[in-house]
Amino acid sequence: MPLPLIALFIAAFAFGTTEFVIAGVLPQVAAGLEVSIPTAGYLVSGYALGIAIGGPLLTLLTARLPRKTLLVWLTVAFVIGQVACALAPDFFSMLMIRFAVAVAHGAYFGVAMVVATGLVRPEQRGMAVAVVLAGLTVSNVIGVPVGAAIGNALGWRATFWSMLALGGVALIAMIALLPAATGASARPAGLLKEVRVLGRQQVWTSLILMLMLMIGQFVPFTYIAPLLQEVTGIEAVSVPWVLLLNGAGATLGVFLGGRLSDWKLMPSLIVMLALQAAVLAAMYFASPHPLPMVLAVTAWGCLNFAIGTPIQARILGWTADAPNLASSLIPSGFNIGIALAAFVGAAMLNGGYGYRDLPVLGVGAMIVAAAVAVLSYLSEQRSGIKPPRRVEAH
């Protein structure tokens, strides 16, 4: 693995950990900032909003900056943000700080994906995307539980001091391992072209696939704890172990998706979407039975991230001549999908459906996604057009 990819992975791990670790210490944060737990929950949604809205805007505003310089300063913003979070005197300050870090988060992943694919040969781009994306999955498997444990033992502010140390490691890796060539930014394509490439069918259909994937993933995942406890009958103390298996499956899935992207992207993606529909159906039938349910949840996690990798690789491949806006829409699109999925799940539950019914919606979403992928691939094959060439740096 090229050393620059390791630097991008470490920073992705840091950003992913600080996004999700708040959930593990939310009651302590609420008590420390003297707000209710539901109010403290806005620290989660506020972060997602910062990624979704601020990330693309910052990416466009910094399109002319050297890539290495931008990545280093985004990591510096992360480090400063962790200090500010650890010292935050009240809830509003914490919310604003989290929003600012989230803007840097959204821009980081947009830029890091483009840089990662430029560091390797074209046939290795799927795996390069997988390495960066793995930072997010590993953050959930390792970073979030460790950060939550630190917060439970030493107080929630200690969690953010530990994030500061992690950010320092990421910053050193970024400065030391990213080559000087990475510092050159691609020739600006212009805002009009950046917007125009989003009209390519391979791009907007991939965004549809992303939305369907988020519905299939986060409608059940948002309520996975009550699903496992109330329907499957798993004790609350055992739920984290099931989530750990889900996260391990996700980490495996990232690299599986990367390999398949570099082999046969669209055929592999279509097959995996169909398989995920089957796995979600299996979750519905297995949900009253602990062992089959645990196996289904693990396979579900694996396929979620195996599918996400080729979707991102396809967007990056088909926008290589104007990548800034499209790449920044990847983390933005995922976070909008997460928010929408949580809303849809709540609407289902409020409408009288049970936790067991949530995976069924995912089955429908995966069937829609598979159909869209097939139609997109057939259209691409008939037209005979190829992805654009990457704009060379200057």
Tens of pLDDT, residue by residue over 301-344, are: 999 989 988 998 898 888 877 777 777 788 888 878 877 887 78
Please answer whether residues 138 and 13 qualify as being in contact, where contact means their C-beta atoms are separated by less than 8 angstroms: yes
* φ/ψ bin of 312: left (φ > 0), alpha (ψ from -120 to 50), beta (otherwise): alpha
Nearest residue to 29 via CA among 90, 97, 112, 100: 90
**If pLDDT is split at 50, 70 and 90, which confidence band does 70 have?**
very high
Tell me: pLDDT of 185 over 90.
Answer: no
pLDDT of residue 77: 97
Class of domain 1-185 as given by CATH: mainly alpha
**If pLDDT is split at 50, 70 and 90, which confidence band does 391 have?**
low
Which position has the higher pLDDT, 57 or 236?
A: 57
Spell out a b/e string for 109-137, using b for 16 or more CB atoms within 10 Å of the CB, else e.
Answer: bbbbbbbbbbbbeeebbbbbbbbbbbbbb
Please answer whether residues 229 and 236 qualify as being in contact, where contact means their C-beta atoms are separated by less than 8 angstroms: yes
pTM: 0.77
**If pLDDT is split at 50, 70 and 90, which confidence band does 394 have?**
very low
DSSP secondary structure code for residue 384 in this structure: -
Homologous superfamily, domain 187-394: MFS general substrate transporter like domains (1.20.1250.20)
- Judge whether 1-185 and 187-394 match in fold: yes
Question: At a CB cut-off of 8 Å and minimum separation 6, what does 312 contact?
Answer: 113, 129, 133, 330
Domain ranges of the chain: 1-185, 187-394
Averaged pLDDT for residues 108-118: 87
Which 3 state secondary structure label does DSSP give 35? coil
